[in-house]
Amino acid sequence: MRMKYLQDKQYNVISLDDFYHHKQEQNFPDDAVVITIDDGFYSTLKVANDVLAKYNLPSTLYLTSYYCDKDCPIFMLAAQYMFYKSNNNADLSALNIQGVTGGISDENLNNIIKHGSKFKTEEERIDLLKALAELLNIDYFALNSERLLNLIKFEEIDQLLNKGMDIQLHTHRHTFPENEDAAIEEIEKNRAKIDPYLPKTQTHFCYPSGVWSENHWPVFEKTGVKTATTCEPRLIYYDTPN
């Protein structure tokens, strides 16, 4: 409905690249709108790709890359989803995780996520999710096969490009440290992962979870990033920092 509204009201939907050039030249077209999507969940391919193509609307996907070659849901989101969906208040102390005792609670969820985040491999986190799913009477394999909380795969990027979607940067692990070297590493690893699947190098970026700082701006200069998107609702003007 939102895409139909943009078309019906004759908004001027432009690409992110066109937005950047118009901003540099200070000649925004009237009613200019840029459509961007965060993260790269499978629903972007399954649903949004066809809807945007139907209305012939350009868009940009900011793709975080770590989970694109992992056949599993995002760990933290999967744990949260299982707690939300389950009606089974089993004793979670069977997981043998420090601080986890009794049934479903915010404290137990936070301790499970904290514990799993310390694992060195995704396989360990998957094993934890499977054990949690069994206790909470959730079908982990169905959750994974439905790809509700999975990202697109690298080899599926072509399907987005073929219908006019642009792919840009969103860090590798969906985190953007304050430390300059660590922040640069997040961008460069993200770029290295997705660049082989794209026709051009990425020059646009979206802050993970919209958390931003002016301290990051030198990072963009060093990595060739032209624009950085936040989650703050406001219009863009010619004097708005890129």
- pLDDT per residue as tens digits for the range 111-143: 999 999 999 999 999 999 999 999 999 999 999
Per-residue pLDDT, averaged over 188-202, amounts to 96
Here the CATH number for the domain that contains residue 36 is 3.20.20.370
Per-residue pLDDT, averaged over 211-234, amounts to 93
Q: CA-to-CA distance for 44 and 52, rounded, in angstroms?
A: 10
**Residue 46 carries which DSSP code?**
I
Per-residue pLDDT, averaged over 190-219, amounts to 95
pLDDT in tens, 163-172: 999 999 999 9
pLDDT in tens, 4-50: 999 898 999 999 999 999 989 999 888 899 999 999 999 999 999 99
| One domain, residues 167 and 108 | no
Q: CA-to-CA distance for 40 and 60, rounded, in angstroms?
A: 10
Does residue 241 register a pLDDT over 90? no
Instruction: Report the Cα–Cα distance between both ends of the chain, in Å, rounded.
Output: 30
What are the tokens at 83?
């707690």
| One domain, residues 193 and 129 | no
pLDDT in tens, 49-92: 999 999 999 999 999 999 999 999 999 999 999 999 998 888 99
Domain boundary among 114, 146, 178: 146
The answer to whether residue 238 is domain-embedded is no
Q: What integer pLDDT is reported at residue 232 of this predicted model?
A: 86
- Domain encompassing residue 221: 2-68+150-229
| One domain, residues 122 and 142 | yes
Mean pLDDT, the chain, integer: 94
The number of domains in the chain is: 2
| One domain, residues 37 and 156 | yes
